[in-house]
Chain A
């Protein structure tokens, strides 16, 4: 006999995805684009730098700052307590 996860938990999982999406949408465009290339397209930071025509150091710091902002926002919303 297992307890069903139920709608509440499914709704929680869905709302997490929605909050993360909103947090990503609110990132500065330059950081969002760098993260998109690294995470969704699987580029290394060197490839990100090349794609965007920016120095490698800038690519590294955009990834870092974008993730930090994302982490802080999710933490503030209690998603990553």
Chain B
């Protein structure tokens, strides 16, 4: 065991640079799964490599297998409790913000022509898509993906907005908060975090509740940010671990988003390099798992927090600061698919 540790420590730099053999990479990755000290070091080195990506104008080596750092991230302990407490943090922040608003501020137009109150009603509707599943009993018949309705979140949202218009804003806030608290309470039941649930867009593959909670955290942050921007308050971004969870959520669902967008013919893949805190390096391919890997057609480099804004459809794929190397069409497809993973 100790011998293995020493051998791996020696290899970590080469591994982070994708400069060891496939067999050595496998040895390193097996070791990282069980050694938090080496995993932390690998993470640090991986960020230095991600930083290098910002300085290059050419694709850094056709030999890159990508997904190597993603493997390390995937092997970290799943962030169940962390997702739940991260969501609770943003519920509190959003609530504090709402409670500070004047009646005139509740009527301010925020985004897509929605007022603050409309936006809270919209959030009630998307939270409810998840909350309703937790209240329900466990056994549901497997669904036929063809019958799942991608228009459901928008219809629910429009209905909630109509329902809340004309009500005192405080009632809308209280309704949102009560449901969010119920959701958190239900998520705290033993075994709940591993339960498979539908995300806001029911066409995406079902995910463990821990992942759905990251989507709730993400959307609650985005709407907090929407309102802060209109009020002229400085941005209050998620912390590094929260960004990491949002990034992992996006990376995990991007292949499905590409397939939903019909962007899997031809099956182009792209390497995504995110820099800054919570950065990393992934290869995103619409091919289903187990399909033979192929070298990425393009490399897209951007900051991790900017990628989160892109996922929330709060950045335009054309204007978000990023760098593309390789096939521009493959990069554009990836960026467009990313914007569909928010809850608008």
Contacts and interface: CB of A to CB of B under 8 A. Distances in A.
B272 interface: no
Given A48-B19, A67-B16, 16 more contacts: A5-B320, A9-B306, A38-B14, A40-B58, A42-B62, A59-B14, A60-B10, A63-B14, A63-B19, A67-B45, A67-B48, A68-B45, A68-B48, A70-B48, A80-B44, A80-B48
A81 B13 contact: no
Contacts of B13: 60-68
A10 B55 CA distance: 15
Contacts of B314: 2-3
Interface string B12-42: 1110111111000000000000000000000
Interface centre among A2, A12, A70 (most CB of B within 10 A): A2
Contacts of B113: 1
Contact of B54 (A2, A13, A81): A13
A20 B313 CA distance: 29
A67 B54 contact: no
B119 interface: no
Contacts of B320: 5
Interface string A47-74: 0100000000101111111111011001
A63 B20 CA distance: 11
B66 interface: no
A40 B319 CA distance: 27
A79 interface: yes
A16 B303 contact: yes
Interface residues of A, number: 43
B300 interface: no
Given A16-B303, A43-B19, A67-B16, A80 B279 contact: yes
Contacts of A4: 316, 319
A59 to B, nearest CB: 8
A24 B52 contact: yes
Contacts of A40: 56, 58, 60-61
A71 B48 contact: yes
Contacts of A16: 51, 54, 275-276, 303
